[in-house]
Amino acid sequence: MNDTKQALSSPLFEALAEISFTSVMVTRAKGERGGSTIVFVNDQFSHLTGYASEEVVGETPGIMQGPKTDRDVLDRLDDDMANDRVFHGKTVNYKKGGSPFEIEWKVKRAVDIDGVAYYIAVQRETA
């Protein structure tokens, strides 16, 4: 079992993701220039977005972005991640069926495994 799968299947992480009231997403950095791919989402993510885990693992979080997604907020997210700061922001994302929803989320660099950064994001829909 590789270190990533081992970390995501640890009893502590599994319990946290399972009981969370919010959506949890773990992404793996693609390279030094930013971007990431989804490696894990919990059931609350699927409930929030309409996407099953199998549909998004391997995709980028950009799968949920669209015309009303605030580019300035995404730029701030990139800057916070590049400078190892916790990000907190709000924007409009899109559910699987295309309907927009306002999202508030936090993202933190969680761990480096074999020289690759992993990030944890918690997300919730705002009214």
**pLDDT score, position 1:** 45
Mean pLDDT by 10 residues, the chain (127 residues): 66 82 90 77 95 95 96 95 94 96 95 86 91
**Single pTM value for the model:** 0.87
**pLDDT score, position 99:** 97
CATH topology of domain 3-125: Beta-Lactamase (3.30.450)
**pLDDT score, position 3:** 65
> How far is 84 from 34, CA to CA, in rounded Å?
13
Question: CB-based contacts of 63: which residues, under 8 Å, 6+ apart?
Answer: 51, 56
Taking the domains of the chain in order of start, what are their residue ranges? 3-125
